[in-house]
Amino acid sequence: MNESRTERLVIDDAAAGMRLDLFLAGHFSRVAAFGAGLSRSEIQRLINEGQIVLNGNKTKASARIRCNDWIDICFVPPRDSKIASEELPLEILYEDGDCIVVNKVAGMTVHPAAGHWSGTLVNALLHHCPDIEGIGGTRRPGIVHRLDKDTSGVMIVAKNRVAYQSLVTQFKNRSVKKEYVALAWGNVTPDKGVIERPVGRHRSDRKRMSSKYFSNKSREALTEWAVEERFTLESKDRARPVVSFLRLRPHTGRTHQIRVHLADSGHPLVGDRVYGKKLNIAVKKPSDDWVVEAFPRHALHAEKLTVNHVRTGAPMQFIAPLPEDLADLLRRLRRSKC
């Protein structure tokens, strides 16, 4: 059985001043004892995951190394790339020989990744339709678009290569129509509008995206929105908080696009702990504002998806009903208006 092993490198004068990732890329390309070597991107991933440390501490790929520094590299045996099928519940909205459309539940990750090797939508799909294995990739078979883990709603998955290529092209050409509903903090005004701001990786927090404080790389992003309802919450505070129920149509598909566009406009999603309000668990009061603040996930649901059939070209629209948690929150808010 393969076991993990750790190698230590000590820096000499010749390497002093180099970037850590560049030094290691050169090292692995020269030393046969490490096998086929590692690419610079693989090295950067290992650094980010803490498998490569500098002087015993987690570091950055851009760190400059000095004489007598030491680098520890932990080599973990490769994981079996075959994804296990799992008998998990699926709410199927539509299925034919080319595609399957599901209503993804909040809390389910779309495909396996570090820390989420089981319990994903792909694990469930491989049990339901095993022929999708390998369609479009090993780790993401059949997946042509994604939803965040805590976003619920409609997703379409390809079941063969013809469908995969057709759907990928439709998403790339932006002929797919997507419609979401959401609850956001604040009195969103006017009644409708468009947010058109590029989105990129946050320049100081690599786990977040931003339309205001991104690094040099960003991509255009456009979100159309309309207010369906507004709710003024009962609160003991002098300023009574407002929540807006929105319908959103993203014309692009950037990571966290809707969440980022709303948060950077001053109206983060209810329940969004990454881009929105921090929950003050000490303030537990049986009022409407507490019920909304305590919502356990970001209040975003992919309600509608319209694509062209991969063979006939006929438009097909799929609608995912609201999940019970979001429907219940809306019922509470509407009762508070009476």
Tell me the C-alpha distance between 124 and 129, whole Å. Answer: 9
Residue position matching structure tokens 């509470």? 332
Residue 279 tokens read as 């929950």
Residue 289 annotated to the active site? no
Q: Whole-model pTM?
A: 0.75
Asked whether residue 81 carries a pLDDT value surpassing 60, the answer given is no
**CA dist 334 → 21, 82, 230, 240, 244 (Å):** 55, 48, 9, 16, 12
Is the domain of 261 the same as that of 152?
no
Residue 105: DSSP 8-state: P
To the nearest 10°, report the CA torsion of 45, 50, 56, 62: 30
Residues 223-249: pLDDT tens digits?
Answer: 999 999 999 987 666 567 899 999 999
Q: What is the pLDDT of residues 100-155, one digit of tens each?
A: 999 999 999 999 887 678 999 999 999 999 999 888 877 789 999 999 999 999 99
CATH of the domain at 56: 3.10.290.10
Please report the pLDDT score of residue 35 as a whole number: 42
322 shares a domain with 271: yes
Would residue 137 be called left, alpha or beta, if left means φ above 0 and alpha means ψ between -120 and 50 degrees?
left
Q: Which amino acid is at 109?
A: T
Instruction: Assess whether 31 and 147 both reside in one domain.
Output: no
Catalytic one of 148, 150, 272, 289:
148
Confidence of residue 279 (pLDDT cuts 50, 70, 90): low
pLDDT band at 217 (very low <50, low <70, confident <90, very high): confident
Q: Give yes or no for residue 45 having a pLDDT over 90.
A: no
> What is the DSSP-derived secondary structure letter of residue 112?
-
Give me the residues paired with residue 311 across strands.
Answer: none
Q: Please give the C-alpha separations between residue 150 and each of 113, 188, 272, 282, 308, in angstroms, as whole numbers.
A: 16, 23, 9, 24, 27
3-state secondary structure of 26: helix
Range of the domain at 161: 79-173
Residue range 198-202: mean pLDDT, rounded? 94
State the average pLDDT for the chain: 88
Query: What share of the chain in percent tops pLDDT 90?
Result: 69
Average pLDDT over residues 49-61: 92
CATH (domain of 90): 3.30.2350.10
